[in-house]
Amino acid sequence: MFCVFDGGLSIQEYEVPAPDSQYLITDNLRTEFVRGEGMGGGVGGMVYSLKHQGSSIENPAIICSHANHRGDVIARSNASGSLTSFALYEAYGTRPYEWGDDPDRQKANTKEEEKDLGLLNERMRFRDLETGVFLTRDPIGYADGPNVYCYVHSNPITQFDPLGLELAVAMSPAETVDEYIANCDVLLAAIEYLEQSGVALELLGDIAEWGETVSISFNDSDDNRYIDADNTIKWDSNSGLGVGENGDVQSAALGLAHELGHAAKDKAGIDQSAADVVLENEIIAEYETPIANELGEPTREHYSDINWESPDNTMPDSTTFINNTETESNGEAEKESPSVPDDDETGD
């Protein structure tokens, strides 16, 4: 079977033709998967699959998926509503009881299962279903704790791990699933970049121990701030701060680290609702500047040391995270003064 993925999620399956077959693989479409929003990383998002017979793609059979609170696909039904399969799941995804015929590979957490190997494809890495541990190291290093092979802190009853991170990507009502998946990929790239800094790793680990989920809300309006009322970071992943006298630009990832610093202060019980320049400068000194130095990025001495903001500071991947592209206006870089944070909000 040959699978086609889009944004890390399976969308089609093809039957691999025999070596002497006159048909191309595109003539052997067997299954199409239709997904909804889900809970991130495809968890709980499978709506139904279309099963094609022979070489025709007309009149496919419809198989609907039904999942529990963790995204485990516990049942399938046909177009008439009749149950075609049912399964009971144990903590790490093994199934002690199954009934009926379930041809789809999406099982525990709606992830593809390699049945012959006993492995679950958790998108970033594979997990062994019997032992409940990942086969490879955590892509964000020690940010989620000292055990880089552990799955959801060994608490799979009430938790699942769509991306392998303690950060959740918020989804706006107007956002498409593809946009949401793209934002998840951008966040992962930012984390992969930041984890090259020891200070950033400690910061991420500190937040991971909090027990609270920090949500990342994406925007494209140069709006970076932390809202302590609901532990949300508003982040423009395409905008960096212009600092210093040379027109240098910090990466958008460093801006994310600054707001994560606010989350760490919130965890420590420091009031964020009346944030002032003193607190901002503390975060710059404790987190932003040390991380910038370790990553070779420009720094600022004070919160107000901003010359201009660049909405073109894009981040295609972790190796080319900094793109110092200036915003021009009449031949000169536009300069903006830092705004005063609103109540319950801290920014830049």
Banded pLDDT at 255 (limits 50, 70, 90): very high
Q: What is the mean pLDDT of residues 110-137?
A: 81
SS3 86: strand
pTM: 0.50
pLDDT of amino acid 23: 46
Q: Is the pLDDT of residue 295 over 70?
A: yes
Banded pLDDT at 293 (limits 50, 70, 90): very high
In angstroms, the Cα distances linking 147 to 101, 137, 152, 294 are 37, 9, 11, 24
- In sequence order, the β-bridge partners of residue 21 are none
Q: What is the pLDDT of residues 191-232, one digit of tens each?
A: 889 988 999 988 988 887 776 778 888 888 888 999 988 888
pLDDT of amino acid 288: 96
The total of other beta-carbon atoms located within 10 Å of residue 130's CB is 11
Banded pLDDT at 343 (limits 50, 70, 90): very low
